Amino acid sequence: MMKNRLAVCALDSSGKILSQVEISIKHIDKDLHEVMPVARNMLRIKGCSRVEIRPLESTSSQYEDSPLAVLHTSDLYWGSSAS
């Protein structure tokens, strides 16, 4: 895991990463909410069904651990969610 870096990953319905953005943060607990606007914008990518926010492991990681937060396309219309 790369310290103080998050990956915001847009995934299709099969779980394939369509796009990934790396974001520098100071503290995961305090700054996670600041990443949500980026995650909501990534939900608009064509073919995207969900966005996962994860600690950045590497630029080519397959991310086997649970994400810190998940947003679905329905969250664009029904409010924000961070499950």
Tell me the chain's radius of gyration from C-alpha atoms: 12
Each residue of 51-76: pLDDT tens digit? 999 988 766 667 778 899 999 988 77
71 neighbors 50 (Cβ within 8 angstroms): yes
Query: Does residue 16 carry a pLDDT above 90?
Result: yes
Token readout for 74 is 């329905």
Instruction: Quickly tell me which residue has 């606007």 as its tokens.
Output: 37
Percent of the chain whose pLDDT exceeds 70: 78
Cβ neighbors of 62 (< 8 A, separation 6 or more) are: none
Threshold 0.85, pTM exceeds: no
Token readout for 61 is 């990681």
